[in-house]
Structure 1
Amino acid sequence: MYTAREIKPGIVLSFAWKTLLFFFCYSAALCGISAWSGVTLGFSFVPIGLIGTAVAFYVGFKNNSSYERLWEGRRIWGSIVNASRTWGALTCTYIQSDDTGEGSVKARLIHRHIAYVNAVRIQLRSKSVWNDLNTVEHQVVEKQHITADQSLPDMLRRFLPEEEAAYYGQRKNPATHIMRAQANDLDEEFRAGRIKELFYFHMMNLVQEFYNQQGAAERIKNFPFPRQYAYFSKVFVWLFITALPFGLINEFAKLGNPYIWLAVPSYIVIAWVFHTMEIVGDTSENPFENAINDVPMTSICRTIEIDLREMLRETDIPAPVTAVNNILM
């Protein structure tokens, strides 16, 4: 997630410089041919204007849909944070086991839950077939050496016993099995009479809530933005961008031959606006990748870890994740 109020010009240029150079060369070549040959390479702006209007509506629909995916992803993680705090509070308050310290049931339920949310994070950041991880968005993160994840086995060993961590590491969906272990522990505590029925019911509802939110996140991850909308949006934008200079040259030629060159800056600005609208939609489609505009899952998981470990009154608490060069992962 980009945290600064304004995007730095360097980042904008890293996205735009290749297309701006193409727009300049393409329009300058057409204007040069028209100026030197005396034959205006243009036609009426009316059909181009109609295409531009249709493309603007289409791209607007795509961007709204992409933003909905991004915002839903953030809402899902907000719900996970809220439910995690409730889980920690109920665990520390209502589990009545006699054991204390790192090996206590309370500590086990808390540490396993921290492992769970981090497992969800790492699973969501795995590469999908339809995601292009060579985009400028990802390259900006790589150039600034921002690390979003540690490996799943290392993370599991940080919070769980070696044998348990190894077991989860062999599952296809480790997070699902971690939460199942939480339910098993709660059931044992209930049968042993160390948790009252009402509180057992509430905590099992939280287990269901975590599964619901995990499933919602996996739905976004595993179901791409419909390709027919994403693909034809790009096709229509480039169709408009390709035809646009012909209409501009025709309009400026009416003012006189020297004014044809005004089509170059006009074209660059208009084409850049439409191309940027298309790129904004593309970078919002998949909110769980390693890119600068994604949901900051690493920071959220660290927030959960801090809150829950403080509920256990632990002292070795890690620091919050901070933004690096205005990028929060």
Structure 2
Amino acid sequence: MYIKKKYSKKDMAIWTRKETIFFVLMAAIVTVLYEVVGLRWLQLPWTPIALVGTAVAFLISFQNNAAYDRLWEARKIWGGIVNTSRTWTMMVRDMVNNAHTTDPKSQDYLAEERRILVYRQIAWMSALRYALRAEKPWETFKKAKTNKQWSEMLNLQELTVPLEEELSRLISPEEVEYVMSKKNKANALQTLQSQHIKALKDAGLIWEFAFLEMENVLKEFFNLQGKNERIKNFPYPRQYATLGYDFVNLFNMLLPFAIVPEFWKMGQELMETYPDFGGYFIWVAIPVSAVVSWIFNTMQRIGTAGENPFEGSANDVPITTMARGIEIDMREMLDEPKDKIPEPLPAVYNVQM
């Protein structure tokens, strides 16, 4: 429901267009120097290049596995937020009542108290996702021009709508002012939740045992928030990321010097059987070298793009879409009119945000 994403070959070609052009030009320059200019010494043995390629492949594999683990953990955490938010709404709806009070309140009063508790939980999700979308110094996704263009095309809500405006539709102006005055705004919202249910418990509108169960749910929200913050605030080790990037570039720079001579030799052998074709076979080295370099570079970029699963790339956990889906569920559980409940966020370029 939440993370269906679809890519086309055209999207991938556009994403890697700069590198593709560079790889083609690099291979073409080496081929021209070798074949046209006659610099036959311009070559490297294939064996050490193959060994470097093998080492680079292992390093990229490690990076991609680690990046996927971070992504999948983030997805599981937000799955927990989905389930726990529904549980919270169910408990608020059923446990805030007059059953244990000596001063019964009207149903309209109780409904408003329930609405405040549920809407404040939605506000907590908003504050959390805004914090997770905030840029960190070590996050490198948007430094690449094509990545930055892609992010701008997605037009993420967290980057275009101020948090204060988003909170204003969910909580009171006084609470907005209080939350915005705190550094950890999601934490401030859960503090308000605890104070609120304690006041309801003191008024007898929440049974004491129910109060303890609801406090446990708030505790779980804190746990889920902390797990998100752990991923956000602890980067993928930079030594692996930096070395992987440098090694891939080194391999791609050396690759044409090994491939071009090999294709020249193959062309010489083909000359005996296919003289018209064999003399031009060396030029096939250009697309072959470019394709191999493109594969290594693209795999490295995929791992880099997945290191931080909350940056807002097409490969990240779509926390904006998920938060909207949870909000819809929670407000439906309050039996709000359909025309008051927001619509699900549409996919942008087949990507959920």
When the two structures are superposed, what TM-score results if normalisation uses the length of structure 2? 0.88
Conservation of the 8 A alpha-carbon contact between 2:130 and 2:158: no
Conservation of the 8 A alpha-carbon contact between 1:45 and 1:250: no
The equivalent residue for 1:108 is 116
The equivalent residue for 2:26 is 26
Give the secondary-structure state (helix, strand or coil) at the position aligned to 1:81: helix
Which amino acid in 1 is paired with 2:258?
G
The equivalent residue for 2:149 is 139
Residue 291 of structure 1 deviates from its aligned partner by 1.9
Q: Is residue 233 of structure 2 the alignment partner of residue 222 of structure 1? A: yes
Which amino acid in 2 is paired with 1:325?
Y
Give the secondary-structure state (helix, strand or coil) at the position aligned to 2:16: helix
Q: Counterparts of 1:155-170 in structure 2 under 5 Å?
A: 155-170=166-181
Q: Counterparts of 1:1-329 in structure 2 under 5 Å?
A: 3-5=4-6, 7-40=7-40, 41-97=42-98, 98-101=105-108, 104-132=112-140, 133-135=142-144, 136-143=146-153, 145=155, 147-148=157-158, 150-255=161-266, 256=268, 258-315=280-337, 316-329=340-353
Conservation of the 8 A alpha-carbon contact between 2:3 and 2:318: no
RMSD of aligned Cα (Å): 1.8
For residues 92-150 of structure 1, the C-alpha deviation after alignment (integer angstroms, 9 at most, x for no partner) is 01111534447722111111111111110111111111224243233123136454552
Residue 26 of structure 1 deviates from its aligned partner by 0.8
The whole-number CA distance in structure 1 between the counterparts of 2:319 and 2:156 is 14
| Alignment size in residue pairs | 328
The whole-number CA distance in structure 2 between the counterparts of 1:118 and 1:146 is 13
Say which is worse superposed, 157-166 or 183-192, in terms of deviation: 183-192
Say which is worse superposed, 42-51 or 258-267, in terms of deviation: 258-267
Conservation of the 8 A alpha-carbon contact between 2:325 and 2:344: yes
| Bigger radius of gyration among the two | 2
Give the secondary-structure state (helix, strand or coil) at the position aligned to 1:37: coil
The whole-number CA distance in structure 2 between the counterparts of 1:45 and 1:215 is 49
Give the secondary-structure state (helix, strand or coil) at the position aligned to 2:91: helix
Relative to structure 1, the CA distance from residue 164 to residue 63 in structure 2 (aligned partners, 3 Å threshold; closer, same or farther) is same
Which amino acid in 2 is paired with 1:128?
K
Relative to structure 1, the CA distance from residue 13 to residue 45 in structure 2 (aligned partners, 3 Å threshold; closer, same or farther) is same
The equivalent residue for 2:276 is none
Which amino acid in 2 is paired with 1:194?
L
Conservation of the 8 A alpha-carbon contact between 1:79 and 1:213: yes
Residue 2 of structure 1 deviates from its aligned partner by 7.2
For residues 254-299 of structure 1, the C-alpha deviation after alignment (integer angstroms, 9 at most, x for no partner) is 2226432221111011000000100000110111112222111111
Relative to structure 1, the CA distance from residue 108 to residue 146 in structure 2 (aligned partners, 3 Å threshold; closer, same or farther) is closer
Say which is worse superposed, 141-150 or 67-76, in terms of deviation: 141-150
Relative to structure 1, the CA distance from residue 2 to residue 297 in structure 2 (aligned partners, 3 Å threshold; closer, same or farther) is closer
The whole-number CA distance in structure 2 between the counterparts of 1:305 and 1:34 is 63
Conservation of the 8 A alpha-carbon contact between 1:138 and 1:290: no
Give the secondary-structure state (helix, strand or coil) at the position aligned to 2:306: coil
Which amino acid in 1 is paired with 2:342?
P
For residues 145-181 of structure 1, the C-alpha deviation after alignment (integer angstroms, 9 at most, x for no partner) is 4545521111111111111111111111111010011
Relative to structure 1, the CA distance from residue 223 to residue 121 in structure 2 (aligned partners, 3 Å threshold; closer, same or farther) is same
Which amino acid in 2 is paired with 1:130?
W
When the two structures are superposed, what TM-score results if normalisation uses the length of structure 1? 0.94
Q: Could you list the runs of 5+ residues in structure 2 that have no partner in the other structure?
A: 99-104, 269-278
Q: Could you list the runs of 5+ residues in structure 1 that have no partner in the other structure?
A: none
Residue 199 of structure 1 deviates from its aligned partner by 1.7
Give the secondary-structure state (helix, strand or coil) at the position aligned to 1:321: coil
Conservation of the 8 A alpha-carbon contact between 1:3 and 1:323: no
